[in-house]
Structure 1
Amino acid sequence: HELTAYVKEMGYTHVELMGIAEHPYDGSWGYQVTGYFAPTSRYGSPSDFMYFVNYLHRHGIGVILDWVPAHFPKDAHGLADFDGEPLYEYADPRKGEHPDWGTKVFDYGKNEVKDFLISNAIFWVEKFHVDGLRVDAVASMLYLDYGRQSGQWIPNKNGGNQNLEAIEFFKHLNTVLRGRNSGAMMIAEESTAWPKVTDHPEVDGLGFTFKWNMGWMHDFLEYMKLDPYFRKYNHHRMTFGLTYFTSENYILVLSHDEVVHLKCSMINKMPGLGKDKFSNLKAGYTYMLGHPGKKLLFMGQDFGQCHEWDEKVALDWQLTDDEDHRDLQNYVRDLLQLYRKYPALYQLDNDWNGFMWVNANDGDRSIFSFIRRDETDRKSLLFVINFTPVARPDYRVGVPKKGKYTRLLDSEHGAYKASEAQSYVSAKGECDGQPYSFAYPLPGYGTAIFRF
């Protein structure tokens, strides 16, 4: 009940749960599964989980589960050597074991194993009514040499490193599950440039609905961690994702993996001290919201959780009593509410018509300006984001049309009520390669979103 109230108040559309299938080791976070058809008893009974999903659905919140068909642990009470010999896993350890993880790999060449996994995916969607599955570690399934040194893996029949059986499994899995359940999402955590992950199997795609954009995540975090002085030399990290955003149906992710193992929490990745950290994170989240692709934040990132995520302890919710943390939380809420209100932010996420740079090359000032459009081209949004603490009182931004540009949100105020919103009128004259422009004094770390 508390989760649902919070998710609704903030403006999220879905929750994604880390692995909840039964697992023996807390430290695996649910990603080393022994009971594929059992919600873990840590949180209650199967009927309790049904109530959880149903309650979220009744309040308009979707539920996505992390699902792990890539590997399973060696525990004797699990699937390993199930009948005394390799049954679910490949018999040859060069295919049947992950050296890095110390786990077994499913034998995707066996029809019985494929049926087991596909029926399990269907079980969660049809029995528990979850809205989608995020498939963990897809790359480890697609590549025979994933995490293996020379001599530790066997090439396929064509001499390549692709696991042909796993490729066929994905096509079969996604065709069956999405065919039986219209609207169900299948999301791939795929960290390489494997082609056509979200294309239909009829055109040799894998058939997923969405793909996690891990490349964007790495570039974004590397840029955000930099001292602002050095950002002008790394401007390309923030623009590169816009060269390929139409190639797949992407989700931009800042997941649990980015805030564990000494990688720092999101707020502590930011350069500077005190309020500068919060200003940096506001600018980063604004850029993320405007960038094409669905969005995923891990818990605690919306209010500036300070310590790294730890499965053994709760989040530091008391931080929201602090002015800076509460201000960040309110700002993220305002961003999410804008996202829900304006189709320009999600309707054409993998269409060139949905995004236009105003100025992608203002690297010396580390300012980004761009436009998001929907199918009507009537309620477009202009983004301006300054990634340095240097104020630009003489800033002008180029725009494509004559008329009023209404400020919906900025970093100092958050979202404006309709009665408070200020409009800026464009004047004719080339700026940023556009035929019109208007002046907007841009504060240090300033962000602004305008409707036109």
Structure 2
Amino acid sequence: MAAKKTTSKTAVKPAPKEPVEVTDVDCYLFGQGTHYDIYKKLGSHPTEQNGQKGMFFAVWAPNAAAVHVIGTFNGWNEDQYAMTKAGEVGIWTIFIPNVGEGELYKYLIYTPEGNKIYKADPYANYAELRPGTASRTYDIEGYKWGDARWMNARDKKDVFRQPMAIYECHIGSWMKHPDGGDGFYTYREFADRIVPYLKELPYTHIELMGILEHPLDASWGYQVTGYYAPTSRYGTPKDFMYLIDELHKAGIGVILDWVPAHFCPDAHGLARFDGQCIYEDPDPRRGEHPEWGTKIFNLAKPEVKNFLIANVLYWIREYHIDGIRVDAVASMLYLDYGKKNGEWLPNKFGGNQNLDAITFFQHLNSVVRGSYPGFITIAEESTAWPKVTSPIGTDGLGFTFKWSMGWMHDFLEYMKLDPVMRKGSHYNMTFAMSYNDAEKYILPLSHDEVVHLKCSMVEKMPGYEVDKFANLRLGYEYWIGHAGKKLLFMGQEFGQHREWSEARELDWFLLQNPLNAGMQKYVAELLKIYRKYPCMYEIDDSWAGFEWINADDKDRSIYSFFRKTDDSPVKLMFILNMTPVEYKDYRVGVPEMTTYKLLLNSTDEKWGGPGGSNIPKSIKAKKGDCDWKPQYIAFDLPAYGGLIFQFESK
């Protein structure tokens, strides 16, 4: 009789972690700008050396005469812990025993002239809550992720043929905690509130503003001091991991606002870090934004490019971020952006193109998108710079998507007009389709459009309150139907009246008003339609996915078009009446001799409209020339009416 096999129940001990240290290879790769794991070496890291637990510190300060670590663990003693210079690239290191998590620290940098500079850690994973400016030791390892299904599926999807509806959000002002103080919910508390909200609406992604550590609330997070630290305003790094984990488990992607265009000039930050300009160009004509009062990264330096590229990889690997929206790309591409004559220097060919920025973006997108195919990079680029979203490895910049700032500007300029005046600007609403195949676009209605006296979305609209909401429902229907992915800033989904302010929460009390509550339900319905029908999102960058029925009905200010795709017979037709005039027996040419089913009518009472429309739920096409087509359907088109019909090709 054969002996039974036995298995040992003895747990296999994990291999001991290698001590954290900076080697000659690390210094060489960093000096070349290709050390994509540099964040695992620079900064502060819990480790063990010679059997003793403690903290390893490393900082790049090539011009320093000496560097010391000071902190709460030694009473801020400036003489106790002197660092050692490792190699010629200028990295300083030290292991300090018995230092654990949660300790505040800074680097005390001595210049060759004998001056003292106190700096926060550029690679710190956690920071002291403002107004404090120190870094804080933290172990980012050990979080137990539960989003394996999301992560495994992400890189297998073709992002261009997936729906993308982004909710742009600022955590600190989305909703305030009733307990007073700053009123901030923690990342975990925010997760418990935002996840069900976004599932109900339903968005596919959330774009988070102001996550990278920054000292000033009023900067909205666009003047950064801590690129490797999620802001401590809302909790710890692992609290932020929890937020992302919960969003992923709910099927919601996370995009991070990322700011490589400029950085905060505060004394504890990156500016003149070791007494000289190592992150920025020393010549203010290339190293400063006079309009913004900020510093510009010197993208000619390998160590600076390494700092930024490794930063994106850090957010991908350690926090499972799904994408970045790169702020102010145009300001990086043009040397004279926001500058007067005498405030900028041309490139070596005499032009205004920033050749180092072009190379940087190509390098960034090649590394990031090449390594993580499902990861999304989005350019906020406001000019006609060509090939922003070209494939990686070509002569373009290699972004996944570009914000369509031209579409946004034309759309808003049209929608704010009195309906009587709209026929004179009719082609504002059609022009974007003439260049739609030039890039992969996102249609943004962002925070920038609802601040600085620009008015909220609903307050941009003409007329009395009911007219404003009727116009905005039309505008949103056009936005959802137009080719391109979608982005909407928080609060605009329910028609917030006041402009956005980072100092207060959204006006949630408005949902007691039927118009606001109806608008929220209407946006939710638009998003459900958008996500349900592949013709709405599978082909966004060519005429194969969009076709005008009548783009020229300017005298009546009516637009009609339909969306289509190559692997489904189901299509959606949009008809938008941009005036308060009802058209009896309105006829629209249709592409198929079939039945057209009404999916949505913007004037229905449940959305806050007047109701009373008698449009049949199902209309059969009739033979007869109309809109250059041999068949049509007819119905009474309501004033300010936006309609969506479903039909199928035979």
Shorter-chain TM-score above 0.5: yes
Q: How much identity, in percent, do the aligned residues show?
A: 61
1:306 CA displacement: 0.7
What CA distance in whole angstroms lies between the structure 2 residues aligned with 1:249 and 1:125? 22
| 1:154/1:414 CA distance change after superposition, 3 Å | farther
Q: Given the alignment, which residue of 415, 418, 430 partners 2:625?
A: 430
What CA distance in whole angstroms lies between the structure 1 residues aligned with 2:342 and 2:384? 24
1:2-36 residue CA offsets vs partner (Å, 9 max, x unmatched): 11101000010000001211100111000000011
Alignment correspondent of 1:391 = 582
Alignment correspondent of 2:259 = 68
Q: Does 1:257 find its partner at 2:448?
A: yes
Q: Is the 8 A contact 1:409 1:415 kept in 2?
A: no
1:252 CA displacement: 0.1
**Poorly superposed stretches of 4+, deviation over 4 Å:** none
Alignment correspondent of 1:118 = 309
CA RMSD of aligned residues (A): 1.3
Q: Does 1:305 find its partner at 2:496?
A: yes
| 1:414/1:126 CA distance change after superposition, 3 Å | farther
Q: Is the 8 A contact 1:404 1:426 kept in 2?
A: yes
Q: Is the 8 A contact 2:538 2:565 kept in 1?
A: yes
Relative to total residues, which structure has the larger helix share, 1 or 2? 1
The answer for unaligned runs of 5 or more in structure 1 is none
Between 191-200 and 376-385, the greater mean CA deviation after superposition: 376-385
Alignment correspondent of 1:287 = 478
TM-score, normalized by length of structure 1?
A: 0.98
Q: Is the 8 A contact 1:408 1:421 kept in 2?
A: no
TM-score, normalized by length of structure 2?
A: 0.68
Alignment correspondent of 2:516 = 325
1:236 CA displacement: 1.0
The answer for unaligned runs of 5 or more in structure 2 is 1-191, 608-614
Q: Is the 8 A contact 1:224 1:270 kept in 2?
A: yes
| 1:415/1:376 CA distance change after superposition, 3 Å | farther
| 1:367/1:254 CA distance change after superposition, 3 Å | same
What CA distance in whole angstroms lies between the structure 1 residues aligned with 2:487 and 2:469? 19
Alignment correspondent of 2:226 = 35
| 1:414/1:63 CA distance change after superposition, 3 Å | farther
1:171-196 residue CA offsets vs partner (Å, 9 max, x unmatched): 00011011121200000000000000
What does 1:149-188 correspond to in 2, within 5 Å?
149-188=340-379
Q: Given the alignment, which residue of 387, 393, 408 partners 1:196?
A: 387
What CA distance in whole angstroms lies between the structure 1 residues aligned with 2:574 and 2:504? 38
| 1:124/1:299 CA distance change after superposition, 3 Å | same
Q: In the alignment, residue 400 of structure 2 is paired with which amino acid?
A: T
| 1:396/1:178 CA distance change after superposition, 3 Å | same
1:446 CA displacement: 0.3
1:8-66 residue CA offsets vs partner (Å, 9 max, x unmatched): 00010000001211100111000000011100000100000000000000010000000
1:224-262 residue CA offsets vs partner (Å, 9 max, x unmatched): 000000000000110101101111000000000000001
What does 1:100-115 correspond to in 2, within 5 Å?
100-115=291-306
Alignment correspondent of 2:635 = 440
1:315-370 residue CA offsets vs partner (Å, 9 max, x unmatched): 01111111111111111110000001001110000021101000000000000000
Q: In the alignment, residue 167 of structure 1 is paired with which amino acid?
A: I
Q: Given the alignment, which residue of 185, 204, 210 partners 2:401?
A: 210
Alignment correspondent of 2:550 = 359
Alignment correspondent of 2:203 = 12
What does 1:211-290 correspond to in 2, within 5 Å?
211-290=402-481
Q: Is the 8 A contact 2:470 2:603 kept in 1?
A: no
What CA distance in whole angstroms lies between the structure 2 residues aligned with 1:14 and 1:201? 23
What CA distance in whole angstroms lies between the structure 2 residues aligned with 1:80 and 1:242? 43
What CA distance in whole angstroms lies between the structure 1 residues aligned with 2:244 and 2:585? 52
1:217 CA displacement: 0.5
Alignment correspondent of 1:89 = 280
Q: Is the 8 A contact 1:330 1:414 kept in 2?
A: no
SS of aligned partner of 1:202: coil
1:415 CA displacement: 9.2
Q: Is the 8 A contact 1:334 1:415 kept in 2?
A: no
What CA distance in whole angstroms lies between the structure 2 residues aligned with 1:415 and 1:426? 28
What CA distance in whole angstroms lies between the structure 2 residues aligned with 1:382 and 1:50? 41
Alignment correspondent of 2:124 = none
Q: Is the 8 A contact 1:356 1:372 kept in 2?
A: yes
What CA distance in whole angstroms lies between the structure 1 residues aligned with 2:443 and 2:215? 31
Alignment correspondent of 1:339 = 530
Q: In the alignment, residue 623 of structure 2 is paired with which amino acid?
A: K
